[in-house]
Every structure is written in C-alpha cells, then in structure tokens.
Amino acid sequence: MLGTKKNRWLYILVVLIGIAVFWIIANSKPAPVAKAIRVPPVPFVDVLRIQPGHNQVWIETQGVVQPKTKIELIAQVSGRVIAVDNQFVAGGAFDAEQALVKIEQDDYRIAISQAKATLADAKQLLATEKGRARQAKREWRDLANKEANELFLRKPQLASAEAGADAAEANLQKAQLDLARTQITVPFAGRVLTKNVDLGQFIAQGSLIAEVYSTDIAEVRLPLTARQRQMVRLPSADTGIPVKLLARYGDEQYQWPATLDRLEGAVDSESRQYYVVASISQPFDSKPVDEVSNNKPALSVGQFVTAQIGGAFIENSFVIPRTALRQQQQVWLMQNKQLRLVSVDVIQSNDDSSLVKLKAGADIDGEFALIVSPLSLALDGMTVRERGGSERLSGTNAKQVEVNADIAAETAVETIAESENIKTNDESSLKTPAAPADKAG
C-alpha cells in the first residue's frame, strides 16, 4: 500500500518535469522572421523599328568562269614550224589576225609556180581551140551546108579547153591558199589556253596546234533549284537581270557586275537542277591592283566564283538580323510593353541576315518593334522594357545587334550578381541576432 502510493507520486513528478521541459523548449525557440519575396525584375530588351516594304530576293549560287568563245587551232597544211610568236605560250595574249605560228613555205611557193605554168598551158590550149572553132565555123559557111554537128564546129574541144583553164585557175588559187595557211592566225583577240607545237616541230595536216579563247565575253553556268528558279526573273531582249560575281583573292573579296543572259532549255538529268548563264564583258583584262583606283584583278578561266542573282520583289517583307530569327521560325515583337511570339515565313536566309514575311493573320500593320536581345526565358505576354537607344532598321546591322547582345548579357550578369548579394545580406541578417541568444542560453 505504501509502495503503491510512492510510485504514484513518482509518476506525477515525471509528468510535471516533462511538461516543464516542453514549455521551456517551446518558449526558447526564436520567433520566425518574415522574409520578403523578391519579384523578378522586368527584363530590358533592345529593339529595331521595322517598316515592311518591297525587298528583292538575291539568289546565291556558284559556278565556274568559262570563255564564251573557245576553239581548237588545227593545222590545215603540213610542214615544219619555222617561227612562233612570243605570245604563243600558255596565257599569252594576242590580237586578231596575229600570226602565232609559221610553217615552212618553200614547198607551197613551188606549188604556186607549177600551178601558174599549168594555168598558162591551159590558157594557150583554150586560145587555140577558140581559133579552131572559128575556122570550123567559116568552113561550114563556105560549104553552104545547113546541117552541122557540134563535133565539126569543135564545141566539145572548146568546152574541154575552157574546163581545163578553170581547173588550172582553181589549182593556182588552192596553192596560194595553202601558202597563206602556213601562217596560223585567229580571227579574234584572245589568249592561248594550251599549246601543242613548238619551233622546229613537224606537224601534219589536221594536227592540233593550240587551244585559244576570246577575251571579250566570259560566261558562268549557274545551277538553280526548283525553288530558286521560281524566284528568278527570266531576261528579256530589252532588260537584263543584274548578277553580282564574287571572288576572293587572299584576304580581299572583289565583285564584278554581270548580266543574266539566258536560261538553258533542259534540266540536268542527274541533279534535276536548272541552269542559267550569266555573261560578263572584258573579264580577263589584267590591271594592276591599286587601292587608290580600286582596280580589280582579272578573272581566270576555270575560276570558281559565287553569284548573286537579282530575283523577284516580295511585298510586305523585311530583312532582319539572323540572330533575331528564333526557333520554329518565330520572331519576338514588343507591343504595349509585352513580348509577343509571331510566326513568319522565311523567304531567304544566310549567316548574317534573313528575309522574312509575316504570316497571314498576324494582325500587325505598319511599323513594329522587333526584339533582338537574347532572353533566357521568353513567354508570350510577359512584360518587357525597352532599352534606350533603339533604332529603325534601314538595312542589316549585324554589328549593332552584336553590341546590343553584349550589353544585354552584361546587364543579366549584373542582375544575377545583385540578387546574389541581396540573398547573402538576408542570410547574414538572419544569423546576426541568433548569436546573443546562444550566449544567453
């Protein structure tokens, strides 16, 4: 009985001690500090003011420079080469009718002398037959015979003598022509592409002497896809289509104006591509490259060039920096301080710029603000603020866009650093009052 009462008081004491410990722990816990919620700052963006208009499509393709006129020089007579011109070398320039190669002429001069002698004999025989024919005609009159055959009047003999004289005349002309052909000339001014004979070499009739080409006009055969063909205007007799030919010499790039000459009549059976031909005048003129006069170096046969063909004009289109074209063929516009995601049709694009057109139903009329700054997160309808110094797009200003992008990146870094400093200060403010409490405990 006594032991049971003692245990009861022990239980009561344990419960009271537990309550006291719980009360002490509950009252010694520091009061929670209210933490301010940081609202993300509204991002600054750089914009370009764009006014849609009529922009021309420039189709870019590549081709090889070839002369419009290129021929093979073939020997029409045989003989030994006794002289060659100084310009009869690969790359040598020559004038029209300039003798490039001379063949030995002795045999052909002898042939002319023999042809002259043969012609003289033929003329003598013809004169004799004419006299005999007249004599035969008088004899026929003296006989008072109404019937006279052609043989009696010597008409066959006269015709044979006339034919012999004509043949002798032709042989003389042939011998003179062979003599003239011992000098190899070209009817146009040009250059030597390759040469196959040299001084002292014997060449036979029909031998290849050289390959030459005219320097007045060059052509570039340019392939086009079906889409590019659709945007290329065909040239007419009155108006030509402008073409820019670009080639690089070392660190410098030069440009030559050309004209779209024609569209070939057949599609390539293997690549299924169309081919147009651009022509350029006087492309092989060698001029010294001078920075003051801005002369261009001459083009070369077989040189690879890039061509830009002036195509059709696209209405309500605009050119934007390539970096402003986002994923899924979208652009970011700023309207009423809000970001809008707008889909566009990409007409043409390269590494620097893109020619685009707003899709139907975009509900945008007139000038608009194009966002060119990079954003880590872009949501349709999010609030944005325009950075000062926006500009109107009068052309592709890729350098300005890069500068604006760098400024936006620096601003983003500063914002992140500022938020990190604020977070560190908040944590320090929470830890500072906790130290005296530990000491007091």
345 found inside a domain = yes
- Domain-located, residue 289: yes
Q: Are residues 326 and 407 in the same domain?
A: yes
Residues 6+ apart with CB under 8 A from 159: none
Structural domain contains residue 27:
no
Q: How confident is the model at residue 428, as a pLDDT? A: 40
pLDDT band at 411 (very low <50, low <70, confident <90, very high): very low
Q: What is the pLDDT of residue 214?
A: 94
Is 80 contained in some domain?
A: yes
For 254-310, what is each residue's pLDDT tens digit? Answer: 999 999 988 888 998 888 999 999 999 988 876 544 443 457 788 999 999 999 998
- Residue numbers of the domain that contains 408: 45-54+315-419
pLDDT value of position 410: 42
Higher pLDDT, 1 or 272: 272
171 and 274, same domain (yes or no): no
Question: Is 353 a member of any domain?
Answer: yes
The reply to whether 194 and 157 lie within a common domain is: no
CATH number at residue 62: 2.40.30.170
Residues 50 and 116 in one domain: no
429 pLDDT higher than 60: no
Report the range out of 145-149, 160-164, 205-209 with the highest average pLDDT. 205-209
* pLDDT reading at 111 higher than 90: yes
At 278 the pLDDT is 93
In the predicted model, is pLDDT for residue 89 greater than 60?
A: yes
For range 225-231, the mean pLDDT: 87
pLDDT confidence bin for 142, thresholds 50/70/90: low
One domain, residues 327 and 400: yes
Task: Please indicate whether residue 244 or residue 436 has the higher confidence score (pLDDT).
Answer: 244
Residues 228 and 176 both lie in one domain:
no
pLDDT at 414 over 90: no
For residue 146, pLDDT beyond 80: no
Average pLDDT over every residue of 184-196: 93
Evaluate whether residue 12 is within a structural domain: no
Q: Higher model confidence: residue 278 or residue 394?
A: 278
Residues 129 and 266 placed together within one structural domain of the fold: no
Q: What is the pLDDT of residue 182?
A: 94
pLDDT for res 311: 84
Q: What is the pLDDT of residue 392?
A: 53
Average the pLDDT over each of 43-57, 163-177, 415-429 and give the range with the smallest value: 415-429
424 located within any domain: no
Which pLDDT does position 287 carry in this prediction?
56
Same domain, 208 and 74: yes
The phi and psi torsions of 433 (rounded to 5 degrees) equal -70, -10
267, 292: one domain = yes
Of the candidates 287, 66, 89, 71, the one whose C-alpha atom is nearest the C-alpha of residue 188 is: 71
299-358 pLDDT per residue, tens: 999 999 999 998 888 888 888 999 888 988 889 999 888 999 998 988 888 888 888 888
Looking at the structure, do residues 221 and 324 belong to the same domain, yes or no?
A: no
pTM of the predicted protein model = 0.63
Average pLDDT on 172-189 reads 93
Residue of 363, 60, 431 lying closest to 223 (CA atoms): 60
Q: What is the mean pLDDT of residues 411-440?
A: 39
